[in-house]
Structure 1
């Protein structure tokens, strides 16, 4: 019998918990290998470390998520605490179910949860760069003047171009070309989203989707995974949230109305010109997803023994849908069909077969 391989992260978790019976995991997660530790008589915490095979396609603006959480204590309801365990700052584990698992087949969010999300936006709007004393890692170019929404979004476009497209072009350039996504697409995107109306900046979570909301046994909504947080255009956080949540149309319209009401009450001007700018920001999110999803789709087909043939139709269909959604902001004149996308993925797999499996 082949002996069970225990990862270094699991070994560390067991050592910190004084036994494997006190460790749960690994938890589901793309970027991190995560375990829940239950030390005797102690607080239940999470130990997580980045996966060596993970691809990071989002900008990090704070030096430490744990430092940010400490800075949010008392300012944002129901975020994980940070406790010291053997000299390490670890986040407390929130018992409950993610919003995605809570109502897996129902896109409609319960009213009680909906109101708590609105309340989260209210609290985020109150937090500005000047009132948040947490070390940041972003460059001066990535920290534009307060209210300069155009510069804020332009830097995100630049990040996609440099850190996603250019960084991966040596391996994935042929696939992007086969899909009709070439250098001029990012030039078009920058022009497409230009001309945003100034709005006062505040803290943004940056990744408010269903798996980052945990509903506890009492119905309280906790917000986790703050590593993509940044200071910037509040409307960008709403656009990201709507794009990721996939609300039914009536509830999306209700969220927009509620968001406008609460952010204007906190900082007037925070929703200025949302009717014009929200579609532009959503267009950026669609374009951004195409670049990241293309790389991930291709790698997801690479099994340890070759192409995962059974997954090809599903992966191609999803990528084709993402491509169609991004066509307008990227200025794509023709969108390949499902069969053409599958052919492009198959060609990429054959041309890069010597690469290691994901």
Structure 2
């Protein structure tokens, strides 16, 4: 039995809980006989997660792996969300989505089935095509998503604070406009006092999303559907039978089904011929499940992908600043190369969308961050959401 997707640190010795341990870790430790059985925290931005085995409950002596997830305190969300409770959403989707984790309650703690296997990123790294089996299962997922009645899961999981997404009533233009507004107002403008010099030095002008707003008006209406919102390689687990499971539903929304395809293509790094193949699989799946779901896709997919490229710039610029801010100056210098390349790539990909006037380079990106850390004297913790 392998648990390749459990890259966590071992637990502390049983009975010796560190006083500095988080509430999430203490809650998980209370469920196991020996804290050394805990694995985690597992890698993840939105939650602090621990995995551990528990008796199966059927007297067989078998062990079943579960995970306990707590939202990270003070988290800065970079994506619009629809659902108040991921746990209740996952509950509501049982029987509607194939191969999704189950949720149980154990001593007033919600536990998710831990899918044993490897992430799709390990099985099929970026640049490699999906197997025919996994492509087919991805198509099943796309079809199941548009088959779910949004009002039924919204009734179970509840709206996130701030109201429902504008685009859940078959208005693709309103949905994308709300996504753009979220990125502009809640990510860019809200943090501009702190990051103004950094955005300026990276060549990102104010009002950079205005052109994208104009293009949004021409989107074709498509029937709104449940969207996972984050279908990348680390949110798929390949089990021992070579089946694909879909995990981490915290960014699920209700809106234009084409957005799930645009997000998936943006995040997966497919070769060009695989992109075309996956797009065809998506079209057949959503049209078979709900006719009209792919209407106008050829003209509209580039607009949605342009938004994803622009969103990545704002997200990566701020996330990189926060991550580097947790390091000492010496550590930052040693670890700067990889995030600088990521920012350089994001800026290059979104250059036309954001109206950037100069070609980004790794040196200019590194210099912009160096000046910002030197001159801005930033607070090194994220602002409250």
| Runs of 4+ residues over 4 Å off in structure 1 | 138-141
143 and 184 in structure 1: CA distance in 2 versus 1, 3 angstrom threshold: closer
* 1:95 has 2:119 as partner: no
Given that residues 68 and 110 in structure 2 are in contact (C-alpha distance below 8 angstroms), is that contact kept between their aligned partners in structure 1?
Answer: no
Task: Specify every segment of 5 or more residues in structure 2 that has no aligned partner in the other structure, as ranges.
Answer: 1-16, 58-63
Corresponding residue for 1:184? 207
Match of 2:145 among 101, 114, 124: 124
Residue 50 (structure 1) shift:
2.6
20 and 145 in structure 1: CA distance in 2 versus 1, 3 angstrom threshold: closer
Residue 141 (structure 1) shift:
6.2
> Which aligned pairs between 1:215-294 and structure 2 lie closer than 5 A?
215-294=238-317
> Which aligned pairs between 1:316-355 and structure 2 lie closer than 5 A?
316-353=340-377, 355=379
Q: How many residues align?
A: 356
- Distance in 2 (CA, whole Å) between partners of 1:25 and 1:238 is 31
Given that residues 215 and 221 in structure 1 are in contact (C-alpha distance below 8 angstroms), is that contact kept between their aligned partners in structure 2?
Answer: yes
Corresponding residue for 1:83? 104
276 and 162 in structure 1: CA distance in 2 versus 1, 3 angstrom threshold: same
Match of 1:57 among 60, 78, 99: 78
Residue 354 (structure 1) shift:
5.5
Corresponding residue for 1:198? 221
Residue 51 (structure 1) shift:
2.9
> Which aligned pairs between 1:138-217 and structure 2 lie closer than 5 A?
139-140=162-163, 142-144=165-167, 146-217=169-240
Given that residues 126 and 270 in structure 2 are in contact (C-alpha distance below 8 angstroms), is that contact kept between their aligned partners in structure 1?
Answer: no
Given that residues 201 and 233 in structure 1 are in contact (C-alpha distance below 8 angstroms), is that contact kept between their aligned partners in structure 2?
Answer: yes
- Distance in 2 (CA, whole Å) between partners of 1:145 and 1:91 is 28
Corresponding residue for 2:7? none
- Distance in 2 (CA, whole Å) between partners of 1:230 and 1:303 is 31
- Distance in 2 (CA, whole Å) between partners of 1:331 and 1:304 is 32
- Distance in 2 (CA, whole Å) between partners of 1:343 and 1:330 is 21
- Distance in 1 (CA, whole Å) between partners of 2:93 and 2:146 is 13
Corresponding residue for 1:17? 32
Given that residues 192 and 329 in structure 1 are in contact (C-alpha distance below 8 angstroms), is that contact kept between their aligned partners in structure 2?
Answer: no
What TM-score, normalized by structure 1, do the two folds share? 0.93
Corresponding residue for 1:33? 48
Residue 225 (structure 1) shift:
0.4
Which stretch of the first structure deviates more once superposed, 314-323 or 269-278? 314-323
Which stretch of the first structure deviates more once superposed, 310-319 or 286-295? 310-319
Residue 193 (structure 1) shift:
3.3
What TM-score, normalized by structure 2, do the two folds share? 0.87
Which stretch of the first structure deviates more once superposed, 262-271 or 231-240? 262-271
Which stretch of the first structure deviates more once superposed, 310-319 or 121-130? 310-319
Secondary structure in structure 2 of the residue aligned to 1:97: strand
Residue 310 (structure 1) shift:
2.0
Task: Specify every segment of 5 or more residues in structure 1 that has no aligned partner in the other structure, as ranges.
Answer: none
Secondary structure in structure 1 of the residue aligned to 2:337: helix
- Distance in 1 (CA, whole Å) between partners of 2:96 and 2:168 is 24
64 and 140 in structure 1: CA distance in 2 versus 1, 3 angstrom threshold: closer
Secondary structure in structure 2 of the residue aligned to 1:215: strand
Secondary structure in structure 1 of the residue aligned to 2:48: strand
- Distance in 1 (CA, whole Å) between partners of 2:318 and 2:43 is 20
Given that residues 31 and 54 in structure 1 are in contact (C-alpha distance below 8 angstroms), is that contact kept between their aligned partners in structure 2?
Answer: yes
Residue 290 (structure 1) shift:
0.4
211 and 108 in structure 1: CA distance in 2 versus 1, 3 angstrom threshold: same
